[in-house]
Amino acid sequence: MAELKIEREIIQLNRKQMWLLKNQTEETKMNNTIQTFLLLHPYPPKSKGLIFVKGGHKQFHRGHEGFHYGLAVMGSIIINSGNSVDIVGYSDLNQLKFDKQFDWIFISTFSNQYSLICDTLLFISKKFPDSKVILGGVHASFAPETFKDFPYYILVRGEGEIFLKKLIDGKDYLQLPGVFKKEDKIKNEFAPIVRDLDSLPYAFRYMSLEQCNHRLDIVAQRGCIYNCSYCINMLYHKAYKNYKRSRTPENVIKEIENLQKGYDHLVFVDDDFLEDKEWSKELLEKYSKRCNLPFIIKVRPKLVNKEMLGMLKEAGCYRVQMGIEHGDYETRKKILYRDETDEEIINAFKLVKEFGIQTFSYNILGLPDDNEESILKIIELNRQVKPDHIYYTIFQPYPRTRLGEYAIEKGVEYPITESYFRWNAELRYFPELPGISKERLRYYFDNFESLIRQPIKDKYSKKHLK
């Protein structure tokens, strides 16, 4: 009974928020007052993990919020329009303590944060009953139906900047492209993407140097031309034509030049830094002359070559992060839609090392068809390339991706859970796969790095195959 009462109360509050949303246009026009925005990005709680760093395991904390570039650009748009904004990353609702109310609350969504986002919506209904709430980001864009228990909220599918500008201008929000609202059966087309990325303001640096560990995150390009079956880019390609876009190298360098003081390293979080060779060359030439932060890039192994590595080294690149993802070529090609051969991967890691740059491998364990043998192949390929850093996660299928659908076809259950991000944490979900039990998968996950690093004579000892 008590629960039912609370639910009714929440529904009333949600209705109030919708009423406010519907009347926002007229209200703003009439009052012409400053609007206050709260942009939220939930992230999973911090957890202790282990990473192998040159010759030994090192304790570290995972789950730092990361700088949210998308919200930060929207933050700049809000500030430039004369309105006010707070951007907050949180993993616990108790962190959302404010002594003021907001006109607008935007929540950015990743799939792994689904449960925290649902809790947030209930929390906001009570704490910020007068705010108008909008959900956006990757999960809201591609799996809006998962918010069916919150029919009063609106979602925005696609990029946020053009939608936001129109909202600030006082346009009728329900008519805007991007809007998805179950209760009113509104399913507008995806919000348009910004074609000229240089036309956007630089991201609002809302985190202190300490909060971001003196790490400067830069998004120089958006999207990726490839179509790996587990990645969000394949969905963006379906939603938009020519989704991949780049800022001009000059625009990127100017941003870094003005910001670099106080940071100790930089990460180009772009999906594939070397994909457009001419663009990368121009950027690296300018970076060498005008920027001084050591930096990290991510790239497909097949795009690595001597010419680019020479330029990267010269510009200050100290780590190249590359996806191995799986140890079996046929699985990479047919299941992951990645066509690099073992040889190409091995050569890429070798070449990067020859230039005195650290290597880093990305790996996925627990694909629907995985078994002991296939997992040992991932370990074997990593043993051959000896990455300086190893990153590995249990596969989690994202809604609508090809591999997500394949997992459903195979009848393998992988719930969306915030525990996804918790390395070695009890809450991490291990699926029961047809080819390998939960316990064995957990064993390989827990021992992944040491199996890669152990001396060759112990390889595949009975202990590991038990």
**Interface with ligand SF4 (CB under 6 A):** 224, 226-228, 231, 233, 271-272, 300
Judged by beta carbon, residue 17 or residue 401, the one nearer ligand SF4 is 401
385 binds ligand B12 (CB under 6 A): no
Q: What is the nearest approach in angstroms of ligand B12 to the Cβ of residue 49?
A: 10
Which of the residues 135 through 194 are near ligand B12 (CB under 6 A)?
Answer: 135-139, 156, 159-161, 163
Q: What's the alpha-carbon Rg for the chain, to the nearest Å?
A: 23
Q: Report the partner that residue 272 touches, choosing among ligand B12, ligand SF4, none (CB closer than 5 to 8 A by kind).
A: ligand SF4
- Closest Cα partner for 209 from 256, 268, 264, 269? 264
Q: Which residue has the tokens 């990305």?
A: 362
Q: What is the nearest approach in angstroms of ligand SF4 to the Cβ of residue 49?
A: 22
68 binds ligand B12 (CB under 6 A): yes
Q: Report the partner that residue 340 touches, choosing among ligand SF4, ligand B12, none (CB closer than 5 to 8 A by kind).
A: none
Q: Which residues, listed in sequence order, are joined to residue 158 by a DSSP beta bridge?
A: 191
Do the beta carbons of residue 443 and residue 372 sit within 8 Å?
Answer: no
Rounded Cα–Cα distance for residues 414 and 421 (Å): 14
Do the beta carbons of residue 342 and residue 381 sit within 8 Å?
Answer: yes
Helices 277-290 and 249-259: crossing angle in degrees, nearest 10, is 30
Q: Report the partner that residue 300 touches, choosing among ligand SF4, ligand B12, none (CB closer than 5 to 8 A by kind).
A: ligand SF4
Do the beta carbons of residue 155 and residue 144 sit within 8 Å?
Answer: yes
Rounded Cα–Cα distance for residues 287 and 292 (Å): 8
Q: Which residues, listed in sequence order, are joined to residue 284 by a DSSP beta bridge?
A: none
110 binds ligand B12 (CB under 6 A): yes
Judged by beta carbon, residue 14 or residue 321, the one nearer ligand SF4 is 321
Q: State which of residues 85, 231, 296, 320 lies at the interface with ligand B12 (CB under 6 A).
A: 231
Q: State which of residues 14, 24, 37, 44 lies at the interface with ligand B12 (CB under 6 A).
A: 44
421 binds ligand B12 (CB under 6 A): yes
Q: Report the partner that residue 159 touches, choosing among ligand SF4, ligand B12, none (CB closer than 5 to 8 A by kind).
A: ligand B12
393 binds ligand B12 (CB under 6 A): yes
Give a three-class secondary structure readout of 278-297: HHHHHHHHHHHHHCCCCEEE
Using DSSP's 3-state secondary structure scheme, residue 84 falls into strand
- Closest Cα partner for 396 from 378, 418, 371? 418
Task: With contacts defined by CB under 6 A, name the span among 11-19, 62-70, 117-125, 240-248 that binds ligand B12.
Answer: 62-70
Q: Which sign does the torsion angle of CA 450, 451, 457, 462 carry?
A: positive
300 binds ligand B12 (CB under 6 A): no
Task: With contacts defined by CB under 6 A, name the span among 106-114, 278-286, 365-373, 375-383 that binds ligand B12.
Answer: 106-114
Rounded Cα–Cα distance for residues 6 and 12 (Å): 10
Q: What residues line the site for ligand B12 (CB under 6 A)?
A: 41, 43-44, 65-66, 68-71, 73-74, 106, 108, 110-113, 134-139, 156, 159-161, 163, 219, 222, 231-232, 269, 271, 393, 398, 420-421
